[in-house]
Amino acid sequence: MATSTITELDLSTCHPNSLANRINAVPGLKSSTAFFTFLRANLVLPPSAMSSNVSTPYLEPTSHAALAPPSPSPLATHVLRATNSAPSSRASTTNNSNNDDADIPPLSLDILTAKDDKISALKLVADSIAQQRQQASLNLVFHPLCLAILAALLAGAYQIAWVRRDRDLGTLLTLASGAVMSYLVAIRYAAGPYIQLAEQLQWSFLLSEDGEEDIVLGSKYGNEVIGTLVLRLEPSGHHAGGGSGKKKSRSAALKGGKGVIRAWTTRLRYRGKGLGGDLLREAVRITKERCGRDAEVGFAKEHANSHMVLPEMFNGPFRKTEMKAARALEAVLADWEGGRRKR
Protein backbone atom coordinates (compact mmCIF):
# COMPACT_ATOMS: atom_id res chain seq x y z
CA MET A 1 0.00 0.00 0.00
CA ALA A 2 1.51 3.21 -1.05
CA THR A 3 1.92 5.77 1.54
CA SER A 4 0.05 9.06 0.70
CA THR A 5 1.69 12.27 1.41
CA ILE A 6 -0.48 14.96 3.02
CA THR A 7 0.40 18.36 1.78
CA GLU A 8 -0.05 21.15 4.28
CA LEU A 9 -1.62 24.26 2.89
CA ASP A 10 -0.74 27.75 4.05
CA LEU A 11 -4.13 29.36 4.55
CA SER A 12 -2.78 32.58 5.88
CA THR A 13 -2.68 34.00 2.42
CA CYS A 14 -6.32 33.14 1.81
CA HIS A 15 -7.86 34.38 5.03
CA PRO A 16 -6.00 37.34 6.39
CA ASN A 17 -6.67 37.66 10.07
CA SER A 18 -6.26 41.38 10.31
CA LEU A 19 -7.58 44.43 8.53
CA ALA A 20 -4.13 45.36 7.38
CA ASN A 21 -3.35 41.82 6.16
CA ARG A 22 -6.66 41.66 4.30
CA ILE A 23 -5.94 44.86 2.49
CA ASN A 24 -2.37 43.84 1.82
CA ALA A 25 -3.67 40.58 0.35
CA VAL A 26 -5.60 42.44 -2.33
CA PRO A 27 -3.38 43.77 -5.06
CA GLY A 28 -3.51 47.55 -5.53
CA LEU A 29 -4.84 48.23 -2.02
CA LYS A 30 -1.75 47.63 0.00
CA SER A 31 -0.92 50.20 2.62
CA SER A 32 1.31 50.23 5.53
CA THR A 33 0.15 49.00 8.87
CA ALA A 34 1.40 52.21 10.49
CA PHE A 35 -1.08 54.30 8.50
CA PHE A 36 -4.10 52.31 9.71
CA THR A 37 -2.83 52.31 13.27
CA PHE A 38 -2.56 56.09 13.12
CA LEU A 39 -6.04 56.35 11.61
CA ARG A 40 -7.58 54.17 14.31
CA ALA A 41 -5.87 56.11 17.06
CA ASN A 42 -7.41 59.35 15.76
CA LEU A 43 -10.91 57.94 15.27
CA VAL A 44 -11.28 56.46 18.74
CA LEU A 45 -12.00 59.29 21.21
CA PRO A 46 -12.23 58.87 24.93
CA PRO A 47 -15.64 59.50 26.57
CA SER A 48 -14.35 62.59 28.39
CA ALA A 49 -13.38 64.18 25.11
CA MET A 50 -16.81 63.51 23.60
CA SER A 51 -18.76 64.73 26.62
CA SER A 52 -16.85 68.00 26.72
CA ASN A 53 -18.50 69.11 23.48
CA VAL A 54 -22.14 70.03 24.11
CA SER A 55 -23.21 69.55 20.52
CA THR A 56 -21.71 66.02 20.29
CA PRO A 57 -24.06 63.23 21.43
CA TYR A 58 -22.95 61.02 24.29
CA LEU A 59 -22.98 57.48 22.86
CA GLU A 60 -21.74 55.39 25.76
CA PRO A 61 -24.32 53.84 28.10
CA THR A 62 -24.76 55.68 31.38
CA SER A 63 -26.95 55.20 34.42
CA HIS A 64 -29.81 57.56 35.27
CA ALA A 65 -28.21 58.39 38.58
CA ALA A 66 -25.27 59.97 36.83
CA LEU A 67 -27.45 62.48 34.99
CA ALA A 68 -27.77 65.90 36.58
CA PRO A 69 -31.33 67.15 37.19
CA PRO A 70 -32.57 69.50 34.46
CA SER A 71 -32.34 73.16 35.39
CA PRO A 72 -35.55 75.22 35.16
CA SER A 73 -35.97 77.43 32.13
CA PRO A 74 -35.62 81.22 32.51
CA LEU A 75 -39.33 81.65 31.76
CA ALA A 76 -40.32 79.23 34.51
CA THR A 77 -38.00 80.99 36.92
CA HIS A 78 -39.56 84.36 36.02
CA VAL A 79 -43.10 83.07 36.51
CA LEU A 80 -42.15 81.50 39.82
CA ARG A 81 -40.64 84.74 41.05
CA ALA A 82 -43.71 86.69 39.91
CA THR A 83 -46.00 84.22 41.71
CA ASN A 84 -44.03 84.39 44.91
CA SER A 85 -43.94 88.18 44.84
CA ALA A 86 -47.65 88.62 43.90
CA PRO A 87 -48.99 89.11 47.45
CA SER A 88 -46.46 91.82 48.20
CA SER A 89 -47.28 93.48 44.88
CA ARG A 90 -50.98 93.46 45.66
CA ALA A 91 -50.27 94.83 49.09
CA SER A 92 -48.18 97.64 47.65
CA THR A 93 -50.91 98.37 45.10
CA THR A 94 -53.49 98.53 47.86
CA ASN A 95 -51.29 100.85 49.86
CA ASN A 96 -50.78 103.09 46.82
CA SER A 97 -54.53 103.21 46.17
CA ASN A 98 -55.13 104.09 49.79
CA ASN A 99 -52.57 106.86 49.55
CA ASP A 100 -54.21 108.14 46.37
CA ASP A 101 -57.63 108.13 48.06
CA ALA A 102 -56.17 110.02 50.97
CA ASP A 103 -54.88 112.69 48.58
CA ILE A 104 -58.32 113.24 46.99
CA PRO A 105 -60.11 116.14 48.73
CA PRO A 106 -63.60 115.38 50.08
CA LEU A 107 -66.71 116.68 48.34
CA SER A 108 -69.26 118.22 50.69
CA LEU A 109 -72.52 120.15 50.46
CA ASP A 110 -73.77 122.23 53.36
CA ILE A 111 -74.85 125.69 54.49
CA LEU A 112 -71.87 128.02 54.40
CA THR A 113 -71.34 129.78 57.72
CA ALA A 114 -67.78 131.12 57.47
CA LYS A 115 -67.50 134.58 55.97
CA ASP A 116 -64.61 133.57 53.71
CA ASP A 117 -66.70 130.77 52.23
CA LYS A 118 -69.59 133.15 51.60
CA ILE A 119 -67.25 135.59 49.88
CA SER A 120 -65.98 132.75 47.68
CA ALA A 121 -69.59 131.89 46.85
CA LEU A 122 -70.32 135.50 45.87
CA LYS A 123 -67.22 135.54 43.65
CA LEU A 124 -68.51 132.40 41.98
CA VAL A 125 -71.84 134.12 41.28
CA ALA A 126 -69.99 137.17 39.95
CA ASP A 127 -67.98 134.91 37.63
CA SER A 128 -71.20 133.45 36.26
CA ILE A 129 -72.45 136.96 35.48
CA ALA A 130 -69.18 137.83 33.72
CA GLN A 131 -69.41 134.63 31.69
CA GLN A 132 -72.70 135.88 30.26
CA ARG A 133 -70.64 138.35 28.24
CA GLN A 134 -69.16 135.47 26.25
CA GLN A 135 -72.58 133.99 25.61
CA ALA A 136 -73.97 137.37 24.59
CA SER A 137 -71.06 137.93 22.19
CA LEU A 138 -71.64 134.52 20.65
CA ASN A 139 -75.33 135.32 20.24
CA LEU A 140 -74.51 138.53 18.43
CA VAL A 141 -71.85 137.04 16.14
CA PHE A 142 -74.19 134.42 14.69
CA HIS A 143 -77.46 136.34 14.84
CA PRO A 144 -79.02 136.68 11.37
CA LEU A 145 -79.45 140.46 11.69
CA CYS A 146 -75.80 140.97 12.65
CA LEU A 147 -74.63 138.66 9.88
CA ALA A 148 -76.70 140.70 7.41
CA ILE A 149 -74.95 143.87 8.57
CA LEU A 150 -71.55 142.19 8.15
CA ALA A 151 -72.51 141.04 4.66
CA ALA A 152 -73.51 144.61 3.76
CA LEU A 153 -70.15 145.91 4.96
CA LEU A 154 -68.26 143.33 2.93
CA ALA A 155 -70.36 144.12 -0.14
CA GLY A 156 -69.51 147.81 0.24
CA ALA A 157 -65.79 146.93 0.46
CA TYR A 158 -66.10 144.84 -2.70
CA GLN A 159 -67.91 147.65 -4.54
CA ILE A 160 -65.26 150.18 -3.64
CA ALA A 161 -62.11 148.09 -4.21
CA TRP A 162 -63.11 145.69 -6.95
CA VAL A 163 -65.56 147.67 -9.09
CA ARG A 164 -64.61 151.32 -8.73
CA ARG A 165 -60.84 150.77 -8.48
CA ASP A 166 -60.55 148.16 -11.24
CA ARG A 167 -60.02 145.05 -9.11
CA ASP A 168 -57.61 146.40 -6.52
CA LEU A 169 -56.95 143.27 -4.42
CA GLY A 170 -54.89 145.07 -1.78
CA THR A 171 -57.63 147.63 -1.13
CA LEU A 172 -60.25 144.88 -1.03
CA LEU A 173 -58.36 142.91 1.62
CA THR A 174 -57.78 146.04 3.68
CA LEU A 175 -61.41 147.12 3.61
CA ALA A 176 -62.70 143.59 4.28
CA SER A 177 -60.36 143.18 7.26
CA GLY A 178 -61.45 146.55 8.63
CA ALA A 179 -65.11 145.59 8.28
CA VAL A 180 -64.63 142.32 10.17
CA MET A 181 -62.60 144.01 12.92
CA SER A 182 -65.21 146.75 13.32
CA TYR A 183 -67.89 144.07 13.52
CA LEU A 184 -66.12 142.20 16.34
CA VAL A 185 -65.24 145.38 18.25
CA ALA A 186 -68.86 146.54 18.15
CA ILE A 187 -70.03 143.18 19.51
CA ARG A 188 -67.44 143.30 22.29
CA TYR A 189 -68.60 146.77 23.25
CA ALA A 190 -72.29 145.78 23.21
CA ALA A 191 -71.68 142.81 25.56
CA GLY A 192 -69.29 144.71 27.83
CA PRO A 193 -71.84 145.80 30.51
CA TYR A 194 -71.90 142.24 31.88
CA ILE A 195 -68.47 142.91 33.34
CA GLN A 196 -69.83 145.97 35.17
CA LEU A 197 -72.74 143.92 36.49
CA ALA A 198 -70.33 141.32 37.87
CA GLU A 199 -68.25 144.01 39.59
CA GLN A 200 -71.34 145.53 41.18
CA LEU A 201 -72.20 142.33 43.07
CA GLN A 202 -71.52 143.13 46.72
CA TRP A 203 -72.19 141.67 50.15
CA SER A 204 -75.46 143.57 50.26
CA PHE A 205 -76.82 141.10 47.72
CA LEU A 206 -77.25 138.61 50.58
CA LEU A 207 -79.27 140.97 52.79
CA SER A 208 -83.02 141.39 52.64
CA GLU A 209 -84.92 144.60 53.32
CA ASP A 210 -85.31 143.77 56.99
CA GLY A 211 -81.61 142.96 57.35
CA GLU A 212 -81.96 139.16 57.33
CA GLU A 213 -79.13 137.32 55.61
CA ASP A 214 -79.90 134.78 52.93
CA ILE A 215 -78.95 131.13 53.25
CA VAL A 216 -75.88 130.35 51.18
CA LEU A 217 -75.51 126.71 50.18
CA GLY A 218 -72.15 125.59 48.89
CA SER A 219 -70.58 122.53 47.29
CA LYS A 220 -66.98 122.36 48.41
CA TYR A 221 -64.24 120.27 46.86
CA GLY A 222 -61.78 120.28 49.69
CA ASN A 223 -61.55 123.95 50.68
CA GLU A 224 -62.67 125.26 47.27
CA VAL A 225 -66.26 126.35 46.70
CA ILE A 226 -67.25 124.91 43.31
CA GLY A 227 -71.02 125.40 43.44
CA THR A 228 -73.40 127.72 45.27
CA LEU A 229 -77.07 128.53 45.70
CA VAL A 230 -78.45 131.59 47.46
CA LEU A 231 -81.81 130.86 49.11
CA ARG A 232 -84.06 133.46 50.68
CA LEU A 233 -86.86 132.26 52.95
CA GLU A 234 -89.71 134.73 52.81
CA PRO A 235 -92.26 134.62 55.64
CA SER A 236 -95.97 134.55 55.02
CA GLY A 237 -96.37 138.02 56.56
CA HIS A 238 -94.35 140.71 58.28
CA HIS A 239 -93.89 140.01 61.94
CA ALA A 240 -92.41 142.68 64.14
CA GLY A 241 -90.41 141.67 67.14
CA GLY A 242 -87.22 142.42 68.94
CA GLY A 243 -84.93 141.45 71.72
CA SER A 244 -84.46 137.79 72.59
CA GLY A 245 -87.74 136.82 70.94
CA LYS A 246 -86.69 138.01 67.49
CA LYS A 247 -85.25 134.65 66.42
CA LYS A 248 -88.27 132.78 67.73
CA SER A 249 -90.70 135.14 65.97
CA ARG A 250 -88.70 134.76 62.76
CA SER A 251 -89.03 130.96 62.87
CA ALA A 252 -92.75 131.25 63.55
CA ALA A 253 -93.22 133.73 60.69
CA LEU A 254 -91.53 131.35 58.24
CA LYS A 255 -94.29 128.80 58.70
CA GLY A 256 -96.40 128.97 55.59
CA GLY A 257 -93.74 131.00 53.76
CA LYS A 258 -91.80 130.12 50.63
CA GLY A 259 -88.27 129.69 49.35
CA VAL A 260 -86.86 131.97 46.66
CA ILE A 261 -83.68 131.02 44.81
CA ARG A 262 -81.75 134.19 44.03
CA ALA A 263 -78.56 132.69 42.61
CA TRP A 264 -77.60 129.24 41.40
CA THR A 265 -74.35 128.42 39.64
CA THR A 266 -71.47 125.96 39.43
CA ARG A 267 -67.88 126.51 38.49
CA LEU A 268 -67.45 126.11 34.74
CA ARG A 269 -65.20 123.05 34.84
CA TYR A 270 -67.57 121.14 37.17
CA ARG A 271 -70.78 121.72 35.26
CA GLY A 272 -72.77 118.77 34.00
CA LYS A 273 -71.72 116.51 36.90
CA GLY A 274 -74.89 116.71 39.02
CA LEU A 275 -73.74 119.34 41.53
CA GLY A 276 -76.46 121.79 40.50
CA GLY A 277 -79.17 119.18 41.06
CA ASP A 278 -77.81 118.42 44.53
CA LEU A 279 -77.95 122.11 45.40
CA LEU A 280 -81.58 122.33 44.26
CA ARG A 281 -82.55 119.27 46.31
CA GLU A 282 -80.91 120.73 49.40
CA ALA A 283 -82.71 124.06 48.87
CA VAL A 284 -86.05 122.26 48.59
CA ARG A 285 -85.33 120.24 51.73
CA ILE A 286 -84.46 123.30 53.81
CA THR A 287 -87.51 125.20 52.56
CA LYS A 288 -89.86 122.33 53.36
CA GLU A 289 -88.37 121.85 56.81
CA ARG A 290 -88.52 125.52 57.84
CA CYS A 291 -91.57 126.76 55.98
CA GLY A 292 -93.72 123.64 55.96
CA ARG A 293 -94.24 120.67 53.70
CA ASP A 294 -96.56 122.66 51.43
CA ALA A 295 -94.14 125.57 51.01
CA GLU A 296 -93.42 126.73 47.48
CA VAL A 297 -89.92 126.93 46.01
CA GLY A 298 -89.04 128.90 42.88
CA PHE A 299 -86.54 131.17 41.21
CA ALA A 300 -86.64 134.88 41.95
CA LYS A 301 -87.78 137.08 39.12
CA GLU A 302 -84.78 139.33 39.74
CA HIS A 303 -82.13 136.69 40.29
CA ALA A 304 -78.40 137.30 39.94
CA ASN A 305 -78.28 136.40 36.25
CA SER A 306 -81.61 137.89 35.22
CA HIS A 307 -80.42 141.28 34.01
CA MET A 308 -80.08 141.47 30.22
CA VAL A 309 -77.92 144.15 28.61
CA LEU A 310 -78.92 143.37 25.02
CA PRO A 311 -82.27 143.92 23.35
CA GLU A 312 -84.74 141.08 23.90
CA MET A 313 -84.36 139.82 20.35
CA PHE A 314 -80.78 138.75 21.17
CA ASN A 315 -81.59 137.07 24.51
CA GLY A 316 -83.13 133.86 23.22
CA PRO A 317 -80.35 131.55 24.53
CA PHE A 318 -80.56 133.16 27.97
CA ARG A 319 -84.29 132.56 28.14
CA LYS A 320 -83.77 128.94 27.17
CA THR A 321 -81.29 128.59 30.02
CA GLU A 322 -83.84 129.99 32.46
CA MET A 323 -86.47 127.56 31.22
CA LYS A 324 -84.02 124.68 31.60
CA ALA A 325 -83.34 125.71 35.20
CA ALA A 326 -87.07 125.94 35.91
CA ARG A 327 -87.59 122.42 34.53
CA ALA A 328 -84.76 121.11 36.70
CA LEU A 329 -86.40 122.59 39.79
CA GLU A 330 -89.77 121.13 38.80
CA ALA A 331 -88.16 117.69 38.50
CA VAL A 332 -86.67 118.00 41.98
CA LEU A 333 -90.04 119.05 43.43
CA ALA A 334 -91.74 116.13 41.68
CA ASP A 335 -89.22 113.72 43.18
CA TRP A 336 -89.80 115.27 46.60
CA GLU A 337 -93.54 114.88 46.34
CA GLY A 338 -93.18 111.32 45.07
CA GLY A 339 -90.98 110.38 48.02
CA ARG A 340 -93.40 112.08 50.39
CA ARG A 341 -96.30 109.96 49.08
CA LYS A 342 -94.31 106.78 49.49
CA ARG A 343 -93.62 107.64 53.12
Can you point out the beta strands (E) in 43-183?
107-111
Question: Model confidence over 303-313: pLDDT tens digits?
Answer: 999 999 999 99
Question: Model confidence over 241-297: pLDDT tens digits?
Answer: 444 455 557 777 788 899 999 999 999 999 989 999 999 999 999 999 999 988 999
Cα-based distances in Å from 306 to 129, 197, 309: 9, 11, 10
Spell out the long-range contacts of 318-321 with Cβ–Cβ below 8 A and sequence spacing 24 or more: 318/132, 318/135, 318/136
**Predicted confidence band of residue 165 (pLDDT cuts 50, 70, 90):** confident
Q: What pLDDT score does 301 carry?
A: 92
Average pLDDT, the chain: 77
Question: Model confidence over 70-113: pLDDT tens digits?
Answer: 444 443 343 334 334 443 433 444 445 455 555 678 889 999 99
**Predicted confidence band of residue 237 (pLDDT cuts 50, 70, 90):** low
Distance CA 343, CA 171 (A): 76
The one-character DSSP state at 312 is G
Nearest residue to 174 (alpha-carbon basis) of 137, 145, 165? 165
Give DSSP secondary structure letters for 198-267.
Answer: HHT--GGGGB-TTSPBPEEEEEEETTEEEEEEEEEEE-SS-----GGGHHHHHHHHHTT-EEEEEEEEE-
Question: Model confidence over 14-58: pLDDT tens digits?
Answer: 544 554 455 455 444 444 455 555 545 554 545 444 444 444 334
Distance CA 242, CA 249 (A): 9
Question: Model confidence over 178-226: pLDDT tens digits?
Answer: 999 999 999 999 999 999 999 999 999 999 888 889 999 999 999 999 9
- Is residue 9 pLDDT above 80, yes or no? no
> Per-residue pLDDT averaged across 107-128, rounded?
95
Collapsing DSSP states into helix, strand and coil, what is residue 131? helix
**Predicted confidence band of residue 143 (pLDDT cuts 50, 70, 90):** very high
> Per-residue pLDDT averaged across 123-134, rounded?
96
Which domains does the chain show, CATH number per domain? 114-199 (no CATH), 206-342 (3.40.630.30)
Torsion of CA 313, 314, 320, 326, to 10 degrees: -80
- Is residue 229 pLDDT above 50, yes or no? yes
> Per-residue pLDDT averaged across 138-163, rounded?
92
Nearest residue to 183 (alpha-carbon basis) of 222, 212, 154? 154
